[in-house]
Structure 1
Amino acid sequence: MPGQALACGLATVDVVQVVEAVPEPDEKVLARASTVAAGGPACVAAMACAALGVPTRFVGAVGSGPLSAVVLADLAAHGVAVTDVAPPGLRPPVASVLVTEATGERAVVSQGAAGVTGYDPVSDARAGLLLDGVGAVLVDGHHLPIALEVARAATARHIPVLLDGGSWKPGLEELLALVDVAVTSAAFALPGGGGLEGLLAAGPGWVAASDGAGPVRWCAADGGRGQVEVPSVEVVDTLGAGDVLHGALLAQVARDGTGDLPGALAAAVSVASGSVTHPGPLGWAEAR
Structure 2
Amino acid sequence: MAPLVVCVGLTTIDVVQQVVELPRANAKIVAHGLRVDVGGPAANAARVAAALGCQVRLVTALGGSDLADLARNRLDGIEIVDVAPADHQVPVSTVLVTPDGARAVVSRNATGLTQQTLPSSEIVRDADVVLHDGHLVDASTALAALSASPIHLLDGGSWKPGLQMLLPSLDVAVVSADFALPGHSPEQALDDLAGYGIPRLARTHGAQPVVYAVAERPGELPVPDVKAVDTTGAGDVLHGALAAHLAEGLGFVEALRQAIDLASRSVTGRGVLAWHPVRTPSAPSRSTTPTTP
1:173-198 Cα offsets, whole Å, 9 max, x none, are: 11111111000000101124233111
Which residue type is aligned with residue 37 of structure 1?
Answer: D
Shift of 1:147: 1.2
CA distance in 2, matches of 1:162, 1:223: 17
Please list, as runs of the form range in 1=range in 2, the aligned pairs for 1:1-288 lying within 5 A after superposition: 3-76=3-76, 79-100=77-98, 102-123=99-120, 127-128=121-122, 130-155=123-148, 158-193=149-184, 194-220=188-214, 222-256=215-249, 260-286=251-277
**SS of the residue 1:284 aligns to:** coil
1:113-149 Cα offsets, whole Å, 9 max, x none, are: 11423212213xxx22x22432111000002111111
Which residue type is aligned with residue 270 of structure 2?
Answer: P
Give the TM-score taking structure 1 as reference length: 0.92
Name segments (4+ residues, structure 1) moved above 4 Å: none
Which residue type is aligned with residue 83 of structure 2?
Answer: V
Which residue type is aligned with residue 205 of structure 2?
Answer: D
CA distance in 2, matches of 1:70, 1:237: 23
1:226-254 Cα offsets, whole Å, 9 max, x none, are: 01100001111000000000000000111
Could you tell me whether the CA contact under 8 Å between 1:2 and 1:254 is conserved in 2? no
Which residue type is aligned with residue 237 of structure 1?
Answer: D
Which residue type is aligned with residue 201 of structure 1?
Answer: G
Shift of 1:2: 7.3
Which residue type is aligned with residue 28 of structure 2?
Answer: K
In structure 2, the CA distance between the partners of 1:273 and 1:287, relative to structure 1 (3 Å rule), is: farther
1:16-37 Cα offsets, whole Å, 9 max, x none, are: 1110111111111111111111
More helix by share: 1
Could you tell me whether the CA contact under 8 Å between 1:45 and 1:246 is conserved in 2? yes
**SS of the residue 2:169 aligns to:** coil
CA distance in 2, matches of 1:58, 1:149: 15
Give the TM-score taking structure 2 as reference length: 0.90
CA distance in 2, matches of 1:27, 1:154: 51
Shift of 1:163: 0.2
Could you tell me whether the CA contact under 8 Å between 1:42 and 1:139 is conserved in 2? yes
Could you tell me whether the CA contact under 8 Å between 1:4 and 1:255 is conserved in 2? no
Unmatched runs of 5 consecutive residues or more in structure 2? 280-293
CA distance in 2, matches of 1:95, 1:286: 26
Shift of 1:73: 0.8
Q: CA RMSD in A?
A: 1.5
CA distance in 2, matches of 1:115, 1:73: 22
Which residue type is aligned with residue 108 of structure 1?
Answer: V
CA distance in 2, matches of 1:185, 1:201: 18
